[in-house]
Amino acid sequence: MPAKDCADQARDDGFTITLDGVDITVWPGETLWKIAQRSGEIIPHLCYSEALDYRADGNCRACMVEIEGERTLAASCIREARPGMVVRSASSERAGAARAMVVEMLAADMPAEQVNPDVSSHFMATAAQLGVDVGRARETLGGAREKVSTLLGATAEEWLPSTVNAHDHSHTAMAVNHDACISCGLCVRACREVQVNDVIGLAGRGSNTRIVFDLEDPMGDSTCVACGECVQACPTGALMPAVQVDAQGHGDSAAVDDKIASVCPYCGVGCQLEYQVSRGTGEVLFEEGQSGATLADAQSQSLASGQVKQHHGAASQDPRLDNIIAVSGRDGPSNRGRLCVKGRFGFDYPRHPERLIRPLIRRAGVPKGLDPTFDPAHPLSHFREASWDEALEVAAQGLMSLKRAHGPDSLAGFGSAKCTNEEAWLFQKLVRTGFGSNHVDHCTRLCHASSVAALMEGVGSGGVSASFMQAEQSDLIVLTGCNPGVNHPVAATFFKRAAKRGTRIVVIDPRGLALRHHAHRSVQFTPGADVALFNAMLNVIVSEGLADQDYIAAHTEDFAALAEHVDALTPEAMSPLCGVAPEEIRAVAREYATAKRAMIFWGMGISQHTHGTDNARCLIALALACGHVGREGTGLHPLRGQNNVQGASDAGMIPMVFPDYQPVGDVAARERLEALWEAPLSATPGLTVVEIMHAIHAGQIRGMYILGENPAMSDPDLDHARSALAQLEHLVVQDIFVTETAQFADVILPSYAWPEKDGSVTNTNRQVQRGRAALQAPGEAKPDWWITQQIACHMGLEWHYAGPEEIYAEMQQGMDSLDNIDWARISHEGSVTYPCLTPDGEGEDVVFGEGFPRASGRARFVPTWPTPPDETLDADYPTVLTTGRQLEHWHTGSMTRRARVLDNLEPSAVATLNPVELERLGIAAGEPLSITTRRGQITLATRADPLTPAGMVFVPFCYAEAAANLLTNPALDPVGKIPEFKYAACYLTKPKVSAMPESPPVATA
């Protein structure tokens, strides 16, 4: 029995109403529509949505019911039940006639079928449910404009709906057809109340009422962030994905062959979604004897003319392949049906022409490096085709020969947080049992390694103490070093919705963030001065007696040392360092300390510093000092970046710890895994990402296996990283494209893209979720787990996993965190939070209420001292360079820059500066700018942003043609070993030649 039904049965405040002659027990607050649904009747509705968080409005009048004793009909979606109420719905002829009349009148103005944007819309289904003939209604009741024009003459246009811009195709992702709009207001609520973006509104009066974007701008010119919530909510097709509407304006949302439930492959929020798929014919891509390695090669050689389907505004689709047509949000615990632009529209990258579908081996004599003439769509200029047997043998034996000649420490592996938990488990197992070392790492080293180090030290766990959904229970939310509106947009909806209900948001960041518009207070401080600011806040909390002494005494240790340490770090002493006025520091500290329930969320603006671990230590100290841990609405939450960076870290893809963060030097932990894997394990911590690059230059690391990572774009000081990759004697790369890193490879192994995979992933909330394959992979591409297993077998290991389910079962034997969360359960439930204490429990959304997983059971305060960034500003390099992500692009862009909509929205590299800074440089927005650090120079276009402080430039790192990481500083945090991506000293100049770097050409067949 569902948990809600059990809870309802336990309630004692129910009462009885009569619905269509049947007595029903209901509860206070239930609407008649919900009661009818619970009783098995779906009352027709248009302006009402069953999706979570949608407020009922009652304006369409399609859900009317008859209530005994009332003269007028009532809208069931907004009418709450009262004791003794007698309601007639299905049994009321009067209500049925009213519903049909409403729909018939609306149908009169619907576009004709041949230009209807969605012939399978909810509106059309409702008309069919009520027996309304839409075509006949249009014929008999239509033509209102002509009739009114005849009656009113020249004044008619004042009263008639505007015909201007009825069709709006200005947006690359969505098509608007105002002729199909019924002004139900669902899109307005979707935008204003659910996603809280405030772009869509209603304008005009009476029959001239219409939806507008901003100040009646074309959708493509508005501030729309393309989350697509309005499209998902629209009941008529007036708002549709552009790919589902042809040039004549006709569309059919039901024109798909299959719908598959899965999880989004982008950020750590872990949104659940549904892929809507068209099935291909399954015909072979290459005829016997044909050469080629990519979809572009296959299509150019063997796709007959006319076989490619062309959608309005869409990329071509190969009918031999499965294709994703559209994506909709599902009711997952972390997204409640919502998606962002990447999750909803960034789905077509697996069918990009550059998709790799055959194994490759480097041609003899071709040097390793980034050749500007290389075309990833046609890689046979630099590589040759190989069979899987040959490629696997060359890959494995190349690594083994180095191990035999130079020992286990000559090999290293980079795994990927884009892979599943099962693939991460196998990858780190291969490095540890096959290579014989702990030299395994992944992108956690470049995002939250310092956060994990501080959390393990302070609270004994590297996971979050509470999910971001707990923000709904908070009185105060601190957002620092994160930009969730851009990097975690769906998580941001929880913060924005909380703010609308009265929760105070405090933004603490050097950059002005979009969420500051929802903030109670926004504090911009000097870049790199986080520790100074946080210590000053701790000083206020301690000196003013605001610390929660009862909590400190019961749950923590070493507070006295911290209190003594911060005694001299007063707001007056720290203000010159952090650039925040003493009274502002005091105000923020007091608000946080005196809140009943407060949470701290942080991102890579905290972690990506040489003092990143100290930054996180300060945040932990703030929460512990105020007792804001272990209760609903409280906690510490580093917002994880990649979709499975939490899971990959849990699974042990970290060089100094085994799965579940057990130190490699822990004898008991090591012996447990040795028994499980039947292989000896090294007790020596391995090298981290940047350390491995140094070790290659030093001649220690000679061979690497890189799965799904792109260090030739993501590492700091790229010239150094790329020269290291070129120096490797043997490099095996496993990926879906010939990425920048793959261009250095000796062997490239084509793997599955996320929508082609089965497996589990773990999001930032510690929710283990099930991903499902929606597509058949093209050509000879193979699952990542299969490829890793085959390399292991070619290295002499006896691995015989049949699939992800068997791998997961082994994970459960080696990871206590997965107790009570077996494969059958995540397959059935879709998402389960760890830790989970019972086989059917919900999992612990909030942890540390009863203590901490440290030897003492107590959390630990760790004092910190303000230290400057590794590089400081001077006359030669007077400006701060900071890097990060964009809303439309993810990480190094290997997926999103191959997604049509996302690349159309942000097609080229851009540097963001304050208008004052641009004026100082004599550069107009859009003109080129050269940025130079001690490591390199890039030139790219400029964009004005008043929220970016003067003296700073922000550059996203996803653009190969202007790679931001050519400039970044490889200096490491001494504990977390994370590079200082967020601070580099640079100087800005107007280039003498106004030449912008070219974006990579769009590959075609």
- Using alpha carbons, list the distances in angstroms from residue 96 to 19, 129, 130, 173, 385: 15, 11, 8, 38, 67
Mean pLDDT (the chain) is 93
In a domain, 822, yes or no: yes
Q: How many whole angstroms separate alpha carbon 405 and alpha carbon 392? A: 20
Could you tell me the pLDDT band of residue 995, with boundaries at 50, 70 and 90?
A: low
Q: How many whole angstroms separate alpha carbon 866 and alpha carbon 528? A: 9
803, 758 Cβ separation under 8 angstroms = yes
Inform me whether the pLDDT recorded for 306 exceeds 60.
no
Q: Which of 445-449, 755-759, 929-933 has the lowest mean pLDDT?
A: 445-449
Amino acid at 841: G
Q: Report residue 848: phi and psi, to 5°.
A: 75, 20
Inform me whether the pLDDT recorded for 898 exceeds 90.
yes
pLDDT, residue 1, reads: 38
In a domain, 667, yes or no: yes
Read off the pLDDT of residues 347-387 as tens digits, 9 standing for 90 and up: 999 999 999 999 999 999 999 999 999 999 999 999 999 99
Read off the pLDDT of each residue in 918-940 and give the average, rounded to a whole number. 96
pLDDT, residue 158, reads: 63
Q: Coil, strand or helix: which one is 71? A: coil
pLDDT, residue 418, reads: 93
Read off the pLDDT of each residue in 808-813 and give the average, rounded to a whole number. 98
Inform me whether the pLDDT recorded for 892 exceeds 70.
yes
Percent of the chain exceeding pLDDT 90 equals 87
Inform me whether the pLDDT recorded for 303 exceeds 70.
no
The CATH number for 757's domain is 3.40.50.740
Inform me whether the pLDDT recorded for 296 exceeds 80.
yes
770, 826 Cβ separation under 8 angstroms = yes
954, 948 Cβ separation under 8 angstroms = yes
Q: Coil, strand or helix: which one is 75? A: strand
β-bridge partners, 601: 479, 637
pLDDT, residue 302, reads: 65
512 closest CA partner among 551, 483, 484: 483
Amino acid at 445: R
pLDDT, residue 160, reads: 59
Statement to judge: residues 736 and 820 lie in one domain: yes
- What does DSSP assign to residue 415? -
Read off the pLDDT of each residue in 562-581 and give the average, rounded to a whole number. 98
**Angle between helices 571-578 and 530-543 in degrees, nearest 10:** 160
Inform me whether the pLDDT recorded for 164 exceeds 60.
no
Inform me whether the pLDDT recorded for 558 exceeds 70.
yes
Q: Coil, strand or helix: which one is 251? A: strand
- What does DSSP assign to residue 778? P
Q: How many whole angstroms separate alpha carbon 736 and alpha carbon 722? A: 20
Question: 306: which 2 tokens?
Answer: 């006319």
Q: How many whole angstroms separate alpha carbon 435 and alpha carbon 406? A: 11
pLDDT, residue 159, reads: 60
Domain C-terminal end among 88, 104, 120: 104
Quote the pTM value. 0.94
pLDDT, residue 1003, reads: 43
Residues 25, 27, 28, 34: is their CA dihedral positive or negative?
A: negative
In a domain, 190, yes or no: yes
With residue 794 as reference, give the H or E element that holds it. helix 784-794
Could you tell me the pLDDT band of residue 447, with boundaries at 50, 70 and 90?
A: confident
Q: Report residue 904: phi and psi, to 5°.
A: -65, -35
Q: Report residue 851: phi and psi, to 5°.
A: 145, -175
Statement to judge: residues 97 and 132 lie in one domain: no
Question: 136: which 2 tokens?
Answer: 């006949």
Q: How many whole angstroms separate alpha carbon 295 and alpha carbon 779? A: 8
The CATH number for 911's domain is 2.40.40.20
In a domain, 862, yes or no: no
The CATH number for 57's domain is 3.10.20.740
The CATH number for 603's domain is 3.40.228.10
Q: How many whole angstroms separate alpha carbon 607 and alpha carbon 640? A: 11
Question: 307: which 2 tokens?
Answer: 């076989």
Q: Report residue 203: phi and psi, to 5°.
A: -130, 165
Amino acid at 794: H
Statement to judge: residues 83 and 141 lie in one domain: no
Q: How many whole angstroms separate alpha carbon 860 and alpha carbon 863? A: 10
Read off the pLDDT of residues 610-628 as tens digits, 9 standing for 90 and up: 999 999 999 999 999 999 9
pLDDT, residue 958, reads: 94
pLDDT, residue 248, reads: 87
| Residue 559: domain span | 449-638
507 closest CA partner among 479, 474, 481: 479
Read off the pLDDT of residues 659-716 as tens digits, 9 standing for 90 and up: 999 999 999 999 999 999 999 999 999 999 999 999 999 999 999 999 999 999 999 9
Statement to judge: residues 653 and 766 lie in one domain: yes
Statement to judge: residues 535 and 599 lie in one domain: yes
**Angle between helices 612-626 and 530-543 in degrees, nearest 10:** 20
Question: 23: which 2 tokens?
Answer: 């007595």
Read off the pLDDT of residues 714-733 as tens digits, 9 standing for 90 and up: 999 999 999 999 999 999 99
In a domain, 295, yes or no: no
Could you tell me the pLDDT band of residue 996, with boundaries at 50, 70 and 90?
A: low
Statement to judge: residues 485 and 545 lie in one domain: yes
Read off the pLDDT of each residue in 559-587 and give the average, rounded to a whole number. 98
Could you tell me the pLDDT band of residue 335, with boundaries at 50, 70 and 90?
A: very high
- Using alpha carbons, list the distances in angstroms from residue 688 to 412, 728, 870, 969, 974: 10, 17, 19, 16, 12
Instruction: Quickly list DSSP for 397-412.
Output: HHHHHHHHHH-GGGEE
Inform me whether the pLDDT recorded for 522 exceeds 90.
yes
Statement to judge: residues 795 and 812 lie in one domain: yes
- Using alpha carbons, list the distances in angstroms from residue 878 to 579, 940, 986: 17, 19, 6
Percent of the chain exceeding pLDDT 70 equals 95
423, 707 Cβ separation under 8 angstroms = yes
pLDDT, residue 994, reads: 57
Domain C-terminal end among 198, 222, 244: 244
Count CB-CB contacts under 10 A for residue 846.
19
Read off the pLDDT of each residue in 338-354 and give the average, rounded to a whole number. 96
106, 133 Cβ separation under 8 angstroms = no
Statement to judge: residues 675 and 794 lie in one domain: yes
Read off the pLDDT of each residue in 400-424 and give the average, rounded to a whole number. 97
Statement to judge: residues 463 and 516 lie in one domain: yes
The two beta strands, 556-557 and 859-860, are: parallel
Statement to judge: residues 419 and 495 lie in one domain: no
977 closest CA partner among 568, 643, 609: 609
Could you tell me the pLDDT band of residue 13, with boundaries at 50, 70 and 90?
A: confident
- Using alpha carbons, list the distances in angstroms from residue 404 to 399, 440, 699, 795: 9, 19, 16, 12
Could you tell me the pLDDT band of residue 109, with boundaries at 50, 70 and 90?
A: confident
In a domain, 859, yes or no: no
Inform me whether the pLDDT recorded for 851 exceeds 90.
yes
Question: 395: which 2 tokens?
Answer: 């890959």
pLDDT, residue 9, reads: 54
In a domain, 373, yes or no: no
The CATH number for 143's domain is 3.30.70.20
Chain-centroid distance, C-alpha 457: 28
- State the total domains in the chain: 5
Question: 876: which 2 tokens?
Answer: 């030669």
Domain C-terminal end among 796, 828, 860: 828
Inform me whether the pLDDT recorded for 2 exceeds 80.
no
Q: Show the beta-strand stretches assigned E in 330-475.
A: 360-362, 383-385, 411-414, 440-441
Amino acid at 397: Q
The two beta strands, 979-980 and 859-860, are: unpaired
In a domain, 933, yes or no: yes
Q: Coil, strand or helix: which one is 298? A: helix
Which residue carries 């103490």 as its tokens? 465
Q: Which of 131-145, 216-230, 239-253, 479-493 has the lowest mean pLDDT?
A: 131-145
Q: Which of 123-132, 304-313, 364-373, 673-682 has the lowest mean pLDDT?
A: 304-313
- Using alpha carbons, list the distances in angstroms from residue 305 to 308, 309, 312: 7, 10, 19
Read off the pLDDT of each residue in 321-342 and give the average, rounded to a whole number. 96
Report the helix count and the strand count for the chain, using DSSP H and E: 32, 40
Statement to judge: residues 651 and 507 lie in one domain: no
- What does DSSP assign to residue 946? T
CA Rg, the chain, in Å? 30
477, 495 Cβ separation under 8 angstroms = yes
Statement to judge: residues 438 and 473 lie in one domain: no
Question: 514: which 2 tokens?
Answer: 């979009």
Read off the pLDDT of each residue in 755-769 and give the average, rounded to a whole number. 97
Which residue carries 């510093």 as its tokens? 609
